[in-house]
Structure 1
Amino acid sequence: FSPNRQVTRSEFAEIVVLGLGLMRQDAPQNLFPDISDSAWFRSAVALANEFGIVRGYDNGNFYGNQEITREQGFAMVARAYRLIEPEAAISPDQMNAELERYSDAADVSNWAKEDVAQLIAAGIIQGNGPEVLSPKTTMTRAEVTALIARMLKVTNLIDQ
């Protein structure tokens, strides 16, 4: 299992797609130019992209071999959460209130703030310790497993 090993963006996409039961034989066409048709993660990334869970960078690439940051992982899980709970929304005031509980909330990128706050409000994110989110650090396999398990429990897809 290697719980302390860092996770790549492609591995994370695979974990989310498998965790949600989205994997299927007829995966859509890959839209990212940096992912070859023979890449082991091509189907998972294409499916995660189809469902709006993953996005590429501004240049169109996915960078699947890059280690995933905590805020990138949080954003992907928030998008998966909204697939299950489409009515889930968070107001700007609630977003600020949820984030201000953490001393490093200012380190969360603007594009990820709403996603991170939504997962805090839902009880899916518990921080890296009681007071920090560590949004720019990489995620370990143990953290990914805990995050996905909490999302599946909160949405009642698996037993509490």
Structure 2
Amino acid sequence: MQSQGFVQISDKDLTEIELHSVDSISDLHRTHPEQHGKGSRPPRPRPPSINGKLQTLDRPVACQTGHRMRTSRLKQLSSTCVPFTWRYSVACVAVILVLITLILIFSFLVQQSRALHTLSEMVSQRQETAEEISILVQELQDLRRNLTTSRDRH
């Protein structure tokens, strides 16, 4: 049996492991922003230089140029909340516009109903008035006949 001992790890390997860990944590934070803790993110260690050149791993262009990407938690939260808030606001505005349209249509229909009711009352009153006038005209004609026949008798 061989005895297990400690394996010697070089500084370069440790740096690579640290970089890989930081990248994994960063990816986790990017994919699950709601699970961030309250602590600050640890700074990313620089990769070891080979032949005096700085290694660039899979970093964004802004990081490759040497500019540090600064994103606060507020910006991350607002960038994830803005689309939801925007969709929610648009949905609210759409619902309000539909409700206003329905109210306007309903009030227009009520107004038209009242106008039709008033118009039908006026038509029925005119019909009654026309019937009364035709009865009066008939009575006048009867009275005229009676008068003319009574004059002819005298």
Per the normalisation by structure 1, the TM-score is 0.17
Bigger Rg, structure 1 or 2: 2
Q: Indicate the structure with greater helix content.
A: 2
